[in-house]
């Protein structure tokens, strides 16, 4: 459920500010997670092939998505660049947002917890 909320917010933010901008695209968003393993879960959900199981998860783990003026996206987990889901090279914001929106996301705890 935490992942679902984050992925919805991430896709909405990128879409609103870059894919279909409603104002200046100078945006910085910082999201805090409960712990580094939640951060790894979010990284794995947005990594094109899933995050490698050998990836080091430290208490100060960081997940960064940089969106540039040309609508390209770069993704990093602890300074390791990775290809976001739905992307090729270069990664376009619209492709990333479309892939995020295509993920099976739910806000219904009853449905989520019964799986």
7 within domain boundaries = yes
Above 70 in pLDDT, residue 109? no
Q: Which domain holds residue 42?
A: 2-106
Global confidence as pTM: 0.74
Q: What H or E segment, with its residue span, contains residue 76?
A: strand 73-77
Query: How many structural domains compose the chain?
Result: 1
pLDDT above 60 for 115 = no
Whole-number Å distance between alpha carbons of 2 and 67: 23
Residue 111 placed within a domain: no
Q: How big is the CA angle at 7 (ends 4 and 13), to the nearest 5 degrees?
A: 140
User: Any idea what the Cα angle at residue 87 is, between residues 28 and 2, rounded to 5°?
Assistant: 55
Q: Distance between CA 48 and CA 51 in Å, rounded?
A: 8
Q: How much of the chain exceeds pLDDT 90, in percent? A: 17
> Residue 28 pLDDT > 70, yes or no?
no
115 falls within a domain: no
In a domain, 69, yes or no: yes
């Amino acid at each position: 459920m935490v992942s679902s909320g984050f992925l919805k917010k991430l896709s909405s933010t990128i879409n609103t500010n870059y894919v279909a901008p409603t104002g200046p695209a100078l945006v910085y968003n910082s999201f805090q997670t409960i712990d580094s393993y939640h951060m790894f879960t979010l990284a794995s959900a947005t990594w094109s092939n899933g995050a490698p199981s050998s990836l080091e998860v430290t208490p100060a783990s960081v997940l960064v998505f940089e969106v540039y003026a040309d609508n390209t996206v770069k993704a990093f987990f602890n300074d390791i660049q990775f290809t976001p889901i739905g992307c090729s090279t270069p990664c376009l914001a619209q492709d990333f947002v479309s892939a995020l929106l295509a993920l099976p996301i739910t806000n219904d705890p009853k449905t989520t917890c019964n799986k």
